[in-house]
Structure 1
Amino acid sequence: MQTRWLNDDEQQTWRAYLWTTRLLDDALDRQLQRDTGVPYTYYMILATLSEAPGRRMTMTDLAALVYSSLSRLSHAVARLEERGWVRRSPHPDNRRITVAELTDDGVAVLEAAAPAHVEEVRKRLFDPLSDEQVAQLREILRALWGRLDPAPGRPGPYPDIFGPEA
């Protein structure tokens, strides 16, 4: 099998994508840490739980939605539990399954963090783009998502992350 090397345009696009996504993630994490002391990973866990029915979700489903291994998620949720933002309990129908639940204190932390976080997302991602470019970016991401998502139709609050088909 012969390697299909990237041509110059593809190489430039790949590097631009790679560094832009790293810089964006880093900027969002810095803002959350600076303003709230909440790492970006923890914010995503809190936000995902906040959108789940009853603010509760199995750890397995939560791990799938935040793209984390179960062991890494368990470690993060343990830290969130220590802060009183999340609680874990056995599933009422199957005690072998653990359910994570966002507490009222966790909701308060999320509500305090969200406005500045959304402003940072706007500033870093949407403000530099025209409406047309935002639509193009969404379509590009939809095409990539369709090839990358290991579990299409996953349960939880994001049945179609991109909204209705255009």
Structure 2
Amino acid sequence: MSDTRWLDDDEQKAWRTYIWASRLLNESLDRQLQREAGMPHAYYVILAMLSEAPGRSLTMTELARLVRSSASRLSHAVAKLEAQGWVFRRKRPGDARTTIATLTDEGFAAIAEAAPGHVEQVRRVLFDLLTPEQTRQLHDIFGAVLTNLNATDGI
């Protein structure tokens, strides 16, 4: 254990501040979306990624990669979205192994209705508190973290 690189006091404070802030931020976004749009934040992210895709469609593999989800967790979520009429799945023509998820018009309407409240909550709990320079720093910091995680976790 002599090789353990323990966090110093400043790193420990920064780490714990990040852990609690990120947890509370995600919980805040989830509560707002549940209350105002009747969907959890995870479903909002799935709908958002589909809404931005060409033809509002992605393979389930592409969608899982974008939303950073396991195939089984994504399949369960998309089944719930299908039951709402917001997404439908179909096999890719000529390739029965590939499933394509497509955002329906009803799903697009649901995310369009949820988006203003969601972005207002994001602003209220995060960006309204930051200066433009802090926003750039936040982007740079988490851009570096994301690049490292993508490289080390093979995402």
* TM-score of the alignment, normalized to the shorter chain, above 0.5: yes
Q: Distance in 1 between matches of 2:112 and 2:139?
A: 26
Equivalence for 1:36: 37
Q: Secondary structure at the match of 1:127?
A: helix
**1:104 to 2:105 alignment:** yes
| Structure 2, gaps ≥5 residues long | none
The amino acid that maps onto 2:5 is: R
Q: Secondary structure at the match of 2:90?
A: strand
Q: Secondary structure at the match of 1:95?
A: strand
Within-5 A mapping of 1:16-165: 16-149=17-150, 150-151=153-154
Runs of 4+ in 1 over 2 A off after TM superposition: none
TM-score, normalization: structure 2?
0.95
TM-score, normalization: structure 1?
0.89
Equivalence for 1:156: none
Task: Number of aligned residue pairs: give it.
Answer: 152
Q: Distance in 2 between matches of 1:101 and 1:93?
A: 18
Query: Which structure has more helix as a fraction of its residues?
Result: 2
Equivalence for 2:12: 11
Please state how far the C-alpha of 1:151 moved relative to its aligned partner. Answer: 4.7
| Structure 1, gaps ≥5 residues long | 153-166
Q: Secondary structure at the match of 1:20?
A: helix
